[in-house]
């Protein structure tokens, strides 16, 4: 037998054993289910869910279907993962750069933060934020206004909400201004490449973004009013706030824990990326007469990003998956609403768990695809 | 070549497993696999709560007690002749049915409400009721709320998810037309503590649970249970569907405790009543007829349950009344002969 055939034989044997293992589990499940008179199927998704969920991004009531409950959970997971990724990235980049600072205090504070938060189990941190830190917040009636009609209470963070009229006009102008910024960037770059003229591209972008959408407000095509949260008496001793935007403490605790934990790992990725750039690169750039900011922006960062992005992608995926710890603190994410409540109310364990697994898989793959695309863009294009 | 041989062995092994599983699964029709397995293991695998005083609760040294725990102890006394031969598995509301289905436990005695959906769709069988409960609300006393009529839109309610409680609450609030915030936890103590901290305006669960949880709050007297009962919650032990012999053993282990109370047999007088002339006493204590043999046990099963665990009334008094959880009268959980609804088929 030659080497090639041997390889094929080996691989087909491997595939065969994997397939038979899968068939084994599937048949086993099927036999056991039919022994107990259980039916496999997704018909339950159209049934009325008949339970309530405290925090929903889309309309949901107890008469909505299980499919709707699934979507509510999914959106809540995406919401916390999205904001978690943004906060973790911002904090991670700042701390990562701070760890390289020559300032003793900044450097050591950043190190202490990283070593503390990355070495404690995430679940423990989550419990700390929810059951300890957020528990000392005042009751609604005792809470003071802390920032423009905002109230931080044990029941929720209440913020004033914007109530829009003809929001779409504002939104359209906003999208147009982003488009304009991209176009401007493209042309200024071309001009710079041609004759070296530099433009304050950041200031121009900010100006476009501020001026254009606000035109719709100035000329009255769209408008908004501010709805402030008002204290509402429920009984002799219990109060709540009504109106405005309400952010439950479960969400805040989860967001805090996820961001602070993941940021430590991102900070290390950023530090590794920057340290990977040879000293010679910086010195060469400096000898060309670039100031330290430009050295970081034009020479170090573009090269460092190549090192930073792949491990940071891992951290984004971890954050998304870790968000399923929400079920420990009553934040209604996919794991709690669907793999929790819905599973228990229907008993469709195999169907629901596989659905939830595939959903997390899909979320992770989508994140990877996006990050890989960005990674490719950052790679050095060799000529 | 060695590598590929290894792989083939693996494939062969996998296909063997495949054939083996085709033959396995499900018990025989004449013998009880669960009973055989329990005897072989030497202990009853009992699913209990993660801590509900009076029902199933572990003390500092890990000793479990409660009226649910005593159902498992009764089964152990009947099957293994020793009420202490029980291994307890604390389960969350979410895990309980899966644990039973996956044979991690053989008896689920975990304050579980008997409903049609659970009975019909989960592949489980409820064998009886050991406590008639109903859902209620607990609120801070100072709030001045006297009944659920004082509930206002916008309130937050803490509870446990994956329970009938959650569904009853949704139904109840929908009927009242009240918008509310549900803060749902997997564990009862988390829901209770969150309510205690003021995150929620009310805490809802079965009334027995409310009474038990109230005693654990920092200041029990600062909280009251509202008078309304918004649902029927018959709580009882559950077994897997498909093993009728085991099902009968668990059912009658519970029934004999209730029957014993009805006929006045308790752990103190069981020995002397063995020589009683009353045929009912004789049947329960295994002196007359072959009740135990009919169940696939020996005739002393009832005697052992009563002497080692006690009758239903003793168990109820010890865990619920004397412990101060439900100190008042037994209400619905009084025997039918005393105006309650505790009633079991005759042991004959």
Chain A / chain B CB contacts < 8 angstroms = 162
Could you give the dihedral angle defined by the CA atoms of residues A58, A64, A65 and A70, in that order, rounded to the nearest 10 degrees?
Answer: 30
Task: Report how far residue B142's alpha carbon sits from residue A236's, in angstroms, rounded to the nearest whole number.
Answer: 7
CB contact under 8 A, B139 and A249: no
Residue A3 near chain B (CB below 8 Å): no
Tell me if A232 and B154 make a contact (CB, 8 A cut-off): yes
Convert the pLDDT of each residue in A136-166 to its tens digit.
Answer: 899 988 888 887 788 999 999 999 988 888 8
Report the chain B residue with the minimal C-alpha distance to residue A55: B181
Q: At what angle do helices B207-216 and B188-196 cross, to 10 degrees?
A: 60
What's the gap between Cα A29 and its chain centre? 35
pLDDT tens per residue, range A189-231 = 888 888 888 788 888 888 888 888 888 888 878 888 888 888 8
pLDDT value at residue B16 = 45
Q: Are residues B171 and B240 in the same domain?
A: no
Which of A20, A234, A347 has its CB closest to that of B97?
A: A347
Q: What is the rounded CA–CA span in Å between residue A30 and residue B240?
A: 17
Domain assignment of residue B77, yes or no: yes
Enumerate the residues of chain A whose CB falls inside 8 A of the CB of residue B142: 236-237
Quote the pLDDT of residue B283: 94
Q: How many CB atoms are closer than 10 A to CB B177?
A: 7
Q: Which residues pair with B206 in a beta bridge?
A: B135
Tell me whether residue B80 is in a domain. Answer: yes
Q: Are B126 and B236 in contact (CB under 8 A)?
A: yes
Residues in B touching A27 (Cβ below 8 Å)? 18, 21-22
B242 shares its domain with B332: yes
3-class secondary-structure state, position B150 = helix
**Whole-angstrom Cα distance, residue A175 to residue A316?**
27
Closest C-alpha among A351, A321, A324 to residue A337: A324
Whether B114 and B248 map to the same domain: the answer is yes
CB contact under 8 A, B154 and A234: yes
Chain A window 20-39: which residues touch B at a Cβ cutoff of 8 Å? 20-21, 23-24, 27-28, 31-33, 35-38
Same domain? B112 vs B179: no
CB of A347 less than 8 A from some CB of B: yes
Q: Are strands B223-225 and B131-133 parallel, antiparallel or unpaired?
A: unpaired
Q: Cβ of B157: how many Cβ atoms within 10 Å?
A: 26
List CB contacts (< 8 A) between B94 and chain A.
340, 343-344
Distance from CA of A164 to the nearest CA of B (A): 23
**What is the H or E stretch that residue A12 is in?**
helix A3-35
Shared domain for B225 and B278, answered yes or no, is no
Let me know how long chain B is.
348
Give the one of A1, A21, A37 whose C-beta lies nearest to B14's C-beta: A21
Q: Do B155 and A240 touch (CB under 8 A)?
A: yes
Among A18, A51, A53, A339, most B C-beta atoms within 10 A, so best to mutate, is A51
B225: CATH:
3.40.190.10
Task: Please name the member of A233, A236, A340 whose beta carbon is closest to the beta carbon of B186.
Answer: A340
Range of the domain at B105: 33-132+235-338
Using the structure block, give the residue that is written with the tokens 């801590």.
B51
Phi (first) and psi of residue B228, to 5 degrees? -65, 145
A6 at the B interface (CB within 8 A)? Answer: yes
> How far is B59 from chain A, CA to nearest CA, in Å?
24
Q: Coil, strand, or helix at residue A124?
A: helix
Angle at B268 between CA B302 and CA B85, to 5 degrees: 50
- A345: contact with B, CB 8 A cutoff: yes
Residues B253 and B140 in one domain: no
A50 and B171 within 8 Å at the Cβ level: the answer is: yes
- Residues 6 or more apart whose Cβ sits within 8 Å of residue A236: B142, B143, B144, B145
A293 touches chain B (CB under 8 A): no
User: Any idea what the Cα angle at residue B18 is, between residues B14 and B19, rounded to 5°?
Assistant: 120
Q: Measured between beta carbons, which residues in chain A are less than 8 angstroms from residue B1?
A: 1, 6
Which residues of chain A register pLDDT less than 70?
1, 36, 381-383
Same structural domain, B87 and B123: yes
**Residue B344 placed within a domain:** no
* Owning domain of residue A256: 46-160+228-378
Asked if residue A32 belongs to a domain, the reply is: no
- Residues from chain A contacting residue B117 (CB–CB below 8 Å): 345, 347
CA of A132, closest CA in chain B: separation in Å? 10
CB proximity A10 to B under 8 Å: yes
Looking only at the bridges linking them, the beta strands covering A223-227 and B233-235 are unpaired
Examine the fold and report which residue of B201, B231, B261 is the final residue of a domain before the chain moves on. Answer: B231
pLDDT for res A381: 66
For residue A306, the domain's CATH number is 1.10.3720.10
Q: Is residue B21 part of a domain?
A: no
Beta bridge partners of A159: A245
- What is the predicted pLDDT for the residue at A162? 83
Same domain, B191 and B277: no
Q: What is the pTM of this model?
A: 0.80
Asked if A218 has any chain B CB less than 8 Å from its own CB, the reply is no
Q: Please check whether residues B241 and B327 belong to one and the same domain.
A: yes
Distance from CA of B247 to the nearest CA of A (A): 14
- pLDDT tens, per residue, chain B with 348 residues: 444 555 555 544 544 444 444 444 333 334 899 999 999 999 999 999 988 889 999 999 999 999 999 999 999 999 999 999 999 999 988 889 989 998 999 999 999 999 998 998 888 999 999 999 999 999 999 999 999 999 999 999 999 887 889 999 999 999 999 999 999 998 888 999 999 999 999 999 999 889 989 988 989 999 999 999 999 999 999 999 989 999 999 999 999 999 999 999 999 999 999 999 999 999 999 998 899 999 999 999 999 999 999 999 999 999 999 988 888 889 899 999 999 999 999 998
Nearest to B143 among A13, A235, A332 (CB): A235
Encode pLDDT of B242-285 as tens digits: 899 999 999 999 999 999 999 999 999 999 999 999 999 999 99
DSSP label of B320: I
* Interchain CB contact of A7 with B (< 8 Å): no
Q: Least CA distance to A44: which residue of chain B?
A: B121
Would the CB atoms of A24 and B14 count as touching at under 8 Å? yes
- Closest residue in B to A337 (Cα) is B161
Return the pLDDT at B121: 81
A2 lies within 8 A of chain B by CB: no
Residues B148 and B187 reside in one and the same domain: yes
Is A1 in CB contact (< 8 Å) with chain B?
Answer: yes
Do B291 and B220 share a domain, yes or no?
no
User: Of A9, A20, A250, which is closest to B4 when you measure between CB atoms?
Assistant: A9
Q: Say yes or no: B128 and B139 in one domain.
A: no
Put simply, the answer to whether A328 touches B186 (Cβ < 8 Å) is yes
Task: Select from B101, B145, B242 the Cβ nearest to the Cβ of A235.
Answer: B145
Residue A218 belongs to a domain: no
Q: Is residue B112 part of a domain?
A: yes
> Is residue B227, in this structure, part of any structural domain at all?
yes
Question: How many domains, chain A?
Answer: 1
Q: Do A52 and B180 touch (CB under 8 A)?
A: yes
Is B201 within the bounds of a domain?
A: yes
Please answer yes or no on whether B166 and A347 come within 8 Å at the CB atom: no
- Residue A263: Cβ-neighbour burial (10 angstroms; 0-12, 13-18, 19+): buried
- Assess: ipTM above 0.85: no
| DSSP single-letter state for residue B153 | T
Contact in structure between B181 and B188 (CB atoms under 8 Å): no
Which pLDDT does position A116 carry in this prediction?
95
pLDDT at B1: 42
A residues 320-339 lying closer than 8 A (beta carbon) to B: 327-328, 330, 332, 336
Give the number of domains in chain B. 2
A64 touches chain B (CB under 8 A): no
Whether residue B26 is contained in a domain is answered as no
Burial (CB count <10 Å: 0-12, 13-18, 19+), residue B175: exposed
Final residue before a domain boundary, out of B210, B231, B252: B231
Check residue B261 and give its pLDDT: 97
- Contact present, A134 and A155 (Cβ < 8 Å): no
Which residue of B8, B14, B125 to mutate against A (max A Cβ within 10 Å)?
B14
CA distance A101 to A294: 17
Dihedral over alpha carbons B142, B144, B149, B153 (to 10 degrees): -60
């Amino acid at each position: 037998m030659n080497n090639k055939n041997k390889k094929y034989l080996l691989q087909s044997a491997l595939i065969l054993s994997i397939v038979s293992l899968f068939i084994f589990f599937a048949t086993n499940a099927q036999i056991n289910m039919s022994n107990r008179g259980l039916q496999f199927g997704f018909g339950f998704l159209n049934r009325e869910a008949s339970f309530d969920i405290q925090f929903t991004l889309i309309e949901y009531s107890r008469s909505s279907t299980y499919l709707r409950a699934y979507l509510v959970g999914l959106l809540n997971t995406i919401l916390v993962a999205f904001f978690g990724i943004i906060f973790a990235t911002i904090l991670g980049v700042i701390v990562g750069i701070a760890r390289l600072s020559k300032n003793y205090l900044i450097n050591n504070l950043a190190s202490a933060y990283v070593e503390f938060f990355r070495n404690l189990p995430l679940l423990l941190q989550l419990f700390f934020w929810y059951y300890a830190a957020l528990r000392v917040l005042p009751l609604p009636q005792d809470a003071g206004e802390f920032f423009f009609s905002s109230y931080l209470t044990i029941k929720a963070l209440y913020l004033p909400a914007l109530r829009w009229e003809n929001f779409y006009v504002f939104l359209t102008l906003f999208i147009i201004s982003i488009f304009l910024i991209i176009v401007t960037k493209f042309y200024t770059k071309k001009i710079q490449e041609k004759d070296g003229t530099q433009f304050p591209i950041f200031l121009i972008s900010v100006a476009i973004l501020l001026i254009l959408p606000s035109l719709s407000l100035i000329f009255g095509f769209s408008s908004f009013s501010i709805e402030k949260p008002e204290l509402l008496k429920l009984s002799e001793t219990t109060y709540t706030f009504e109106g405005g935007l309400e952010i439950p403490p479960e969400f805040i605790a989860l967001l805090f824990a996820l961001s602070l934990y993941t940021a430590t790992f991102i900070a290390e990725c950023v530090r590794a990326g920057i340290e990977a750039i040879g000293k010679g690169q910086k010195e060469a750039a400096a000898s060309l007469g670039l100031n330290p900011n430009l050295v970081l922006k034009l020479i170090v960062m573009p090269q460092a990003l190549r090192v930073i992005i792949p491990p940071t992608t891992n951290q984004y995926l971890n954050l998304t998956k870790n968000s399923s710890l929400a079920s420990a603190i009553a934040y209604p994410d996919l794991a709690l609403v669907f793999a929790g409540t819905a599973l228990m109310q229907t008993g469709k364990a195999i169907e629901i768990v596989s659905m939830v697994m595939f959903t997390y898989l899909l979320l992770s793959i989508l994140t990877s695809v996006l990050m890989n695309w960005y990674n490719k863009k950052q790679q050095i294009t060799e000529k | 070549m060695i590598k590929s041989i290894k792989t083939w062995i693996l494939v062969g092994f996998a296909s063997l497993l495949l054939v083996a599983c085709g033959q396995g699964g499900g018990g025989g029709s004449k013998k009880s696999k669960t009973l055989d397995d329990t005897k072989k293991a030497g202990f009853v695998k009992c699913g209990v709560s993660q801590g509900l005083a009076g029902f199933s609760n572990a003390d500092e040294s890990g000793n479990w007690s409660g009226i649910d725990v005593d159902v498992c102890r009764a089964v152990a006394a009947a099957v293994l002749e020793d009420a202490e031969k029980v291994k307890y598995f604390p389960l969350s509301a979410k895990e309980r049915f899966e644990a039973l289905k996956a044979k991690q436990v053989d008896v689920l005695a975990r304050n579980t409400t008997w409903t049609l959906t659970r009975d019909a769709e989960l592949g489980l069988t409820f064998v009886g009721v050991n406590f008639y409960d109903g859902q209620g609300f607990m609120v801070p006393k100072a709030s001045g709320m006297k009944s659920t009529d004082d509930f206002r839109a916008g309130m937050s309610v803490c509870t446990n998810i994956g329970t009938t409680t959650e569904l009853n609450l949704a139904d109840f609030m929908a009927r009242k037309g009240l918008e509310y915030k549900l803060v749902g936890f997997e564990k009862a103590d988390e829901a209770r503590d969150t309510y205690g901290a003021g995150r929620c305006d009310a805490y809802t669960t079965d009334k027995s649970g409310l009474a038990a949880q109230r005693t654990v709050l920092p200041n029990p007297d600062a909280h009251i249970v509202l008078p309304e009962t918004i649902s029927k919650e018959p709580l009882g032990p559950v077994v897997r569907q498909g093993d009728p012999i085991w099902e009968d053993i668990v059912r009658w282990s519970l029934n004999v405790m209730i029957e014993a109370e009805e006929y006045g047999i308790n752990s103190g007088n069981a020995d002397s009543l063995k020589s009683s002339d009353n045929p009912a006493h004789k049947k329960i204590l295994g002196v007359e007829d072959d009740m135990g043999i009919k169940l696939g046990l020996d005739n002393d099963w009832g005697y052992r349950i009563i002497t080692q665990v006690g009758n239903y009334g003793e168990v109820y008094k010890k865990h619920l009344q004397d412990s101060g959880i439900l100190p008042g009268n037994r209400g619905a959980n009084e025997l039918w002969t005393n105006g309650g609804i505790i009633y079991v088929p005759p042991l004959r």
